[in-house]
Structure 1
Amino acid sequence: MNGNVITVLSTKGGVGKSTLARFIAIVANEQGKRVCIIDTCQNSSIATGFLKDRDSFQHSAYDWLIGEAKPSEVIQQYENTNIYYIPSDERIDDYEDWVSRKVTKPKQLEVLKTKIEPLKQIFDLIIVDTHPSENSDIVNYSIAASDYCVIPVEIDLDAKLAAKRCIEIIEDYQSAGYKIDYGLVWNKVEVTKGKAKIQLKNMKDELVKYGIMESKFVGEIRYSTTVSTSKNEGIMLNAIDNKYTMNVMNDIRKVSNTIFDKIVEGVHNEQAVTY
């Protein structure tokens, strides 16, 4: 895996996008991969998840995206790890307007892809955390820049509908020639409760009937009060000696490794077609 781009998206808020982005970065770091998370949401949950004040940075993703800051001025390192991130702030919402004024129509959809391209020479994996809205142009810029999209889904009707909508959007890009794959991650699953298992099976069955292949279900991450109540929202879960936390981290590792394998498989398939 070399310089691949993952976008974590959902049209529904609260499904664990930012937390999942950090989890994937943790697993990548454990495997010796250099990873950079780009935060494109005004809440800047990536920065706070790495225990940093979102207002403490001199420059943010917005400054980098509009060309007023170099990558070296916005990329932050998380402690002594291979995890790096570009924080965001409330100005990110102005980026769409900046693009509409400064970038010609044919190039607008590729603006983020163009900015990310040099980072592929530095990082093995680039993760984009997005705002929960299908009407955001930045979400579309992120999808267009991606090799793989991760859609976290909780077991409820709104989350299921959001997943369907995300898939429709991605399939529109695929139809337009973009080489993008995607996978659904079942998040906050209460694995010990029989009713929750039945609800999960019913949701999977409904999505399969909708036309989504089971191979798109890349795994489940169980619910844990340790995760939901942790002050750091789980960023140090891999360092907590707690059997419930260890179970969650093992789920996260399985999901992340499946995603990594899917990306490698996609690259090989594309090369086979090319050659």
Structure 2
Amino acid sequence: MRAAYEIVQRLMWDFSFRAEFHQDRKEAIAKHFPEARGEAILFGETAKLYGLEEEAYRRAAALQRTSKAIFEHSHPLILSFFGTQFFYRLLANFFARVAEDASPSIRILEPFDGYVVGPHIIEQAKELASRSNSWVLEVMSYDWAIWHAGRVVQGWPPLAKTPPLTEGGALLAFDFDVKSMLREIKRLNSCSVASDFYKERIVPGTGSEYLAIYPSDGSVAVATLDKSHYDELSRAIQDHNSPARLEVCSVLERIGLVANASFLCCSREASDEARLSGELPRVVEPQPH
């Protein structure tokens, strides 16, 4: 990559370098890019500080726009608990990693597509979350599962495969009333309140929830599982020696949660004849995204 382009990229996300550049351009370039001393003349007349700052802001705004598209409910929580500096830090970390990559195509990449930046947002939130607000990560997992399944519906390949779940599917467990929380977040969103209000108003309520989110019939389906079914399915996926009951497998395959339930199921002879008390209740309600 041409040194001039690397310098411009660095100016977009490195605040300290931009300050040094503003103080003395030639000295800053010589210090950080000693092999590019000859490029300094390119910045003598054209690279104005206000333009650089505006471009840095544009990138941060584009990154926030992508975050809001992916994490519809948890994006305001990110702003509330981690602040706007979350996104500047994310840009710095992203480009610092990209700068070490040997692939020219990766080094010019900008992190404004969800498949690129979504996992980075989750990773950084995990680094910053404390014990008291770790539940924000669970709301993020819900948003990500909805968005990722939606991408798979559009024809994108899944970022991770979790057989025998349908591609793009995910199992989620919450130790609080996530549905009530999502409704309250939507209410605050509709009121366009400041991000600080979320820290005051959004508090995990008592309860628990077990969900499966997956592509189904050209849309994203959400199935509610009770704990016994969730545990049974989780064990069957993780351990082939702990097969699920035949009736459970039949329901899973019928609603499209699993692509192939054959290895999950115990034999018909081994299963009891009693019917399940009720099928895994499929939630047919407007999606909260």
TM-score greater than 0.5 by the shorter chain: no
Higher relative contact order (CA 8 A, sep 6+): 1
The structure with the greater share of residues assigned to strand is 1
TM-score where L is the length of structure 2: 0.22
The structure with the greater share of residues assigned to helix is 2
